Structure 1
């Protein structure tokens, strides 16, 4: 089945110069495609190569309709001909394949065959198949928001990756929001060795989306240059005109194995292998050029000779290019943050009325939306009439800043996170705040996109920074039970490329949120929801308060023992410290970390040097909790100052139960901290 699209290109209608250019691009792509495995055989590189042969028609068309620095292109790992058609050179392809420092995709930091040129809007995408569809929808949202009506986003992938749930989230969102995105499915019938019938009930996967509103679907023969050009041209023009998404399903063949680590002869018989070679798009195009006398053998031979020389020169340049240096691994992990220079220690002497933690967050969000008109927030329930999230942190924001900047997202956490990644690519001024989930416990469906976003800056060698603050209502003490009372920082601090902060008081919540939003890069902002309206977390603070990342705060000075803590546990530690002081037992120092990553190692060491005893207290489980890292740090660089073992206090190694009796038995509290502190003091 093929949609009825206008015939703009054909062997007879297309001018000769264009036909010869296409042959050059296709032959260059095929030459590089066939040369790639040789680099692996010679142990030079290109250890991952997914052949493009058989996809040449649709890939040529994608590259030809893409306009650099106007449109946005998200190729996938098989899109070699696509990026060649879009203008990338043989040298750039080889530098990527053999992972040299000059690779324009990311300097050898990403897997070979993941072609990109961010300076042209050819985006660097992950190895997670199809996940870039969410980024494409996010960028489509940016085009719509900034009224870039003469531009589209093109997202390309194989048909089997459409089985991923986030692909449906992306296309559902693009359909619902009416975003200018062209989704291309290159259907070669296999997901590695898994045949199409094991993926979906429909023979053509695009049929799964025929019920979606605001979506046009075009079917084409991806083996045929002209059918592919007509389909892609129509899709792009329709999408621009209607400002709605489209799908192009292109029927292709995979001539080679899935990749150079796959042996397709184990699951494809000789008849099938002969069939796919017979339908080689490049050979078919060459036959048509000669049969219809649009080119001569000599003209095509001249192109082939030119390509051979070009690839030879590119190979020579690639081999001479330097490898990345070992010490460069620490470059571009996290961008330099906003300096928070007004309050370099994250301290203030402000007097005045106390404000609750929830007020601090709400007022700071509004202030930052005034400060930068390119600031946006979305999430579940964040903007429904007078409601502002489950806990009303964003109350009044849509009224003040409008639906363009403050809006609800579907109940799809991966979509929330992935479209933030995509929209932030549009320009560096954009700052995005998302409620990643209604409760931190519900963030797990977004983990694929969270992990993806943590290594974007490093993977692109600093060419793209996701300037996103992820807000999560975290922790227990509300009788919430499973999915409403867990705290997840122990898992999320294991990823480089993200800052993780966890305030305990209103002033630090305001200061850290301001710094997070103004900074480049990804910040995870964990909010102790039990403290939103708690009087004990209320403080005065100046309107312009800022807290630098990586600066702990002494909430109570002492000399006999250090309690290292954050979040809800800070208040229990302060209560325990006061009790111990009143009983004349000990003078306790309470160090509120505020920032978990980066961690204020200097403040920890200085406090332990002074008190000679360290107890780490957090709400999370002791086993596998963040306190283990703090303990290891102390043991590593401050062991000589200790007069007793390091002690940890936290939750039991169980989920957090719903019944209040169960919750109390599981979570740390003042009495449990007192008991542990007395044991440590007696050592």
Structure 2
């Protein structure tokens, strides 16, 4: 491999590099002026001092082969990869024509998704797992290329960076993790982040991982390091860390004052280490360019920046009328079972079998469907409840496999793999029990943001399965409900079936749909006789369509999941006792919600009781009650009642579980009192 230096690099290349370095620095220094003029760029993290490594990342990136995940300080990286000055400024001042997000995302987040310069979050380091996911797809589809992800040295302290590097080394994936080490995480010095002076040394024991150190201030050392890293990743299929030693010349961002934690000696040192000035001196010292030639390049840059600035300033601002666009993509629309009901007879199937058989059917239907999670593919076992039993045997270990016990890695790498091709659909078991999903909530947020944040350019095609709820004597971490908390985050569909046919139909629709779906499974009903139904082979249930399980005229009982069966029993009991005829609605789909069916029932009965397993306080039922109370108040003949769990965790001993979770008697009492109101 040819080593580049000041002597053997052709003049055209040197000219291009100097042009990019000068242009990048000019924009870097101009960015704060936009804020001072109230034109935008309210967040700007200057890259000065990272010039060598950022130029090298962009020059190494091969459009059409690689995926690039730049972080918020990677302005020169984006320029070097091919983005124009105008595109950079459009992002900085948040114009409607900003390629990253049309002004929806924070400034200094540069992307061009059509080139696979990816849109990343403001939560530092999250993109590392996305890079691993897309590299997994590269390996599966025999694609020649690498995923390049860039982070600061302080970000390595984030647990999901460790999970990403561990995952890439375990799976042997072509990922280049670039660590741009400038010594500070905002104001926190490196010594407070890690015991190793070079943070890459924290990974020295990882198998299948190559570590390359370079001077990130030096163009040639950085180019050689990145060239070696890409060649190694492609040749071996294994990951590489490039640790680039940089300096941070400016403050962390325009909201930071570095003089509060850096002394004058240090500030003088970093200014003297300016990579741009060093490169300029080299070009003159080794007679590669004359002063006049460099001044001509600088004049050209000044003109280019002026034109880019003028065009960007004149570009339109975002239209507030579009704020509701791209929250959720259009779902798959069932063709045969358009209302999600059927009248077929025959042998009943229990809920766990319905899910298992639907998964297998959908894997046969679409060969670009994948599944992974904890404990989902271990010989004859398929998860704690055997929901995925037999999938790996039929579809192979490349499509169905176990993930590390790292919930955020499970979700984050799925997000990344979807980026490779929109035909890919992924089913993940996010945790063995829903209660253990909380470490992955950050990546859940990423999945819900992607479609809106990218202005409709990308949405992860993921079905996230979680075994939810209690009534199994599981106690804390085996009996909780999560839908109330997660429903506050826009960008995910949330479904919660109560019967086998609905579980099959909603799962099929989720897997075939574009976008992100949270599929909650009431584990107490997996093998319950009450939840078993006839399940047509091709049954489909549309999102946002409730199911009336029992018709009635005296009150409307709204429910889902485990409590649906309790409610049906209570309704029958009240009918037999001639107390009242209750309509029971199983909403099935929390987001989107079938308000039409609910409202029509409220108009008919005038009384409403909401029952769910989650806590009454801040549970999803609070939103149901508020919606009905606000929009249907004139039809109500009594206050809306709610039944759910106590505002406590779910205890382990049976007496605690019985006291905490809703049961028939509590539902019966509440319904009877409502009917007598």
Band the TM-score falls in, shorter-chain normalisation = over 0.9
User: 1: CA distance between counterparts of 2:672 and 2:385?
Assistant: 37
Question: How far off is 1:344 after superposition?
Answer: 1.4
* Match runs of 1:521-536 below 5 Å: 521-536=515-530
Residue in 2 that maps onto 1:236:
230
Q: 1:515 aligns with which of 509, 513, 520?
A: 509
1:252-290 residue CA offsets vs partner (Å, 9 max, x unmatched): 000000000000011111110110011100000000000
User: 1: CA distance between counterparts of 2:637 and 2:151?
Assistant: 60
Task: Please state whether the residue corresponding to 1:52 is helix, strand or coil.
Answer: coil
Residue in 2 that maps onto 1:144:
139
Q: 1:317 aligns with which of 298, 311, 316?
A: 311
1:167-189 residue CA offsets vs partner (Å, 9 max, x unmatched): 00000000000000000000000
Unaligned runs of 5+ in 1: 1-5
* Match runs of 1:362-381 below 5 Å: 362-381=356-375
Question: How far off is 1:541 after superposition?
Answer: 2.1
Task: Please state whether the residue corresponding to 1:155 is helix, strand or coil.
Answer: strand
Residue in 2 that maps onto 1:121:
116
1:59 paired with 2:51, answer: no
* Match runs of 1:580-595 below 5 Å: 580-595=574-589
Runs of 4+ off more than 4 Å: none
Task: Please state whether the residue corresponding to 2:323 is helix, strand or coil.
Answer: helix
Question: How far off is 1:349 after superposition?
Answer: 1.0
1:599 paired with 2:597, answer: no
Unaligned runs of 5+ in 2: none
Residue in 2 that maps onto 1:32:
27
1:150-200 residue CA offsets vs partner (Å, 9 max, x unmatched): 200000010000000000000000000000000000000000000000000
1:93 paired with 2:88, answer: yes
Question: How far off is 1:341 after superposition?
Answer: 2.3
Q: 1:71 aligns with which of 66, 70, 77?
A: 66
Residue in 1 that maps onto 2:541:
547
Task: Please state whether the residue corresponding to 1:218 is helix, strand or coil.
Answer: strand
Residue in 1 that maps onto 2:634:
640
1:110 paired with 2:111, answer: no
User: 1: CA distance between counterparts of 2:321 and 2:636?
Assistant: 34
* Match runs of 1:78-227 below 5 Å: 78-148=73-143, 150-227=144-221
Residue in 2 that maps onto 1:357:
351
Check conservation: 1:616, 1:631, Cα contact below 8 A.
yes
User: 1: CA distance between counterparts of 2:486 and 2:61?
Assistant: 37
Q: 1:389 aligns with which of 379, 383, 401?
A: 383
RMSD: 0.6
Check conservation: 1:566, 1:593, Cα contact below 8 A.
yes
Check conservation: 1:69, 1:119, Cα contact below 8 A.
no
TM-score under structure 1 length normalisation: 0.99
Check conservation: 1:99, 1:108, Cα contact below 8 A.
yes
Residue in 1 that maps onto 2:45:
50
Question: How far off is 1:313 after superposition?
Answer: 0.5
Check conservation: 1:68, 1:120, Cα contact below 8 A.
yes
Check conservation: 1:436, 1:470, Cα contact below 8 A.
yes
User: 1: CA distance between counterparts of 2:67 and 2:294?
Assistant: 32
Question: How far off is 1:296 after superposition?
Answer: 1.0
Q: 1:621 aligns with which of 615, 623, 631?
A: 615
* Match runs of 1:253-652 below 5 Å: 253-652=247-646
TM-score under structure 2 length normalisation: 1.00
User: 1: CA distance between counterparts of 2:137 and 2:145?
Assistant: 11
User: 2: CA distance between counterparts of 1:312 and 1:544?
Assistant: 60
Check conservation: 1:376, 1:432, Cα contact below 8 A.
yes
1:368-425 residue CA offsets vs partner (Å, 9 max, x unmatched): 0000000000000000000001100000000000001000000000000000000010
Task: Please state whether the residue corresponding to 1:455 is helix, strand or coil.
Answer: helix
User: 2: CA distance between counterparts of 1:589 and 1:567?
Assistant: 16
Question: How far off is 1:7 after superposition?
Answer: 5.7
